[in-house]
Structure 1
Amino acid sequence: MADVSAGSREALARDAALLARTVREAGALAYAMFRTELKKWTKGASSPVSEADIAVNDLLEDRLRSATPDYGWLSEESVDDEARLGKPLVWIVDPIDGTRAYLSGREDWCVSVALVEDASPVLAAVFAPASEEFFFAMRGAGATRNDTPVQAAPGTELDFPRIAGPKPLMERLYRGPGEISLHPRIGSLALRLCRVAEGRLDAAFAGGQSHDWDLAAANLIVQEANGNMTTLSGDSILYNRRAVTHGVLVAAGRDRHASIVEHLRRHSLP
Structure 2
Amino acid sequence: MAASDDDADLALLTSFAREAAALALTFFGQAPKSWTKSGNSPVSEADIAIDRLLHDGLRAARPAYGWLSEEAVDSAERLSADTLFVVDPIDGTRAFLAGQEDWTVSLAVVREGRPVAACLVAPVRNIVFEASRGRGTFIGSARLAVSTLGDAAKARVASPKAHVGVTLPAFAEAVPRIASLALRLASVANQHIDAAFAGPGAKDWDIAAADLIVTEAGGRLSDFSGHHPLYNRPDPSHPALLAAGPALHDVLLTSRS
What is the CA distance between 1:175 and its match in structure 2?
4.3
In the alignment, the residues of structure 2 paired with residue 96 and residue 73 of structure 1 have an alpha-carbon distance, to the nearest angstrom, of 16
Q: In the aligned structure 2, how far is the partner of 1:60 from the partner of 1:183?
A: 32
* Aligned partner of 2:243 among 244, 247, 251: 251
Instruction: Give me the whole-angstrom Cα distance separating, in 2, the residues matched to 1:57 and 1:119.
Output: 22
| Cα shift at 1:164 | 0.6
C-alpha displacement of 1:79: 0.6
Of 182, 192, 196, the residue aligned with 2:174 is 182
- Alignment gaps of 5+ in structure 2: none
Task: Name the TM-score, length of structure 2 as normaliser.
Answer: 0.96
What residue is the counterpart of 1:141 in the other structure? 135
Deviation at 1:17, TM superposition (A): 1.4
Does 2:198 correspond to 1:197? no
Partners of 1:251 and 1:34 in 2: CA distance:
29
Cα pair 2:159 2:177 within 8 Å, conserved: yes
Q: Select between 216-225 and 161-170 the one with higher mean Cα deviation.
A: 161-170
Shift of 1:180: 4.9
- In the aligned structure 2, how far is the partner of 1:179 from the partner of 1:157? 10
Q: State whether residues 166 and 255 of structure 2, in contact with CA within 8 Å, keep that contact through their aligned partners in structure 1.
A: no
Q: Is the 8 A contact 1:153 1:200 kept in 2?
A: no
Equivalent residue number for residue 4 of structure 2: 10
Aligned partner of 1:237 among 229, 234, 242: 229
Which secondary structure state, in structure 1, belongs to the residue aligned with residue 196 of structure 2?
Answer: strand
> What displacement does 1:11 show?
2.5
Q: Which residue of 2 aligns with 1:214?
A: 206
Note if contact 1:152-1:253 (Cα within 8 Å) is conserved in structure 2.
yes
User: In the comparison of the two structures, how many residue pairs are matched?
Assistant: 257
Map of 1:69 onto structure 2: 63
Q: 1:173 aligns with which of 158, 161, 166?
A: 166
Residue identity opposite 1:258 in structure 2: D
Please tell me whether the aligned partners of residues 167 and 255 of structure 2 are also in contact (alpha carbons under 8 angstroms).
no
Q: What is the rounded CA distance, in whole Å, between the counterparts of 2:168 and 2:106 in structure 1?
A: 32
Distance 2:201 2:45 in 1: 24
| Identity value in percent | 45
* C-alpha contact 2:3 2:133 (8 A) present in aligned 1: no
1:166, 1:10 → 2: CA distance?
Answer: 36
What stretches of structure 1 of length at least 5 have no aligned partner? none
C-alpha displacement at 1:130, in angstroms? Answer: 0.5
What is aligned with 1:130? 124
Q: Which of 25, 32, 42 is the matching residue for 2:36?
A: 42
The letter of the residue matching 1:262 is T
SS of 2:71's equivalent? coil
Deviation at 1:52, TM superposition (A): 0.1
Structure 1-normalised TM-score? Answer: 0.92
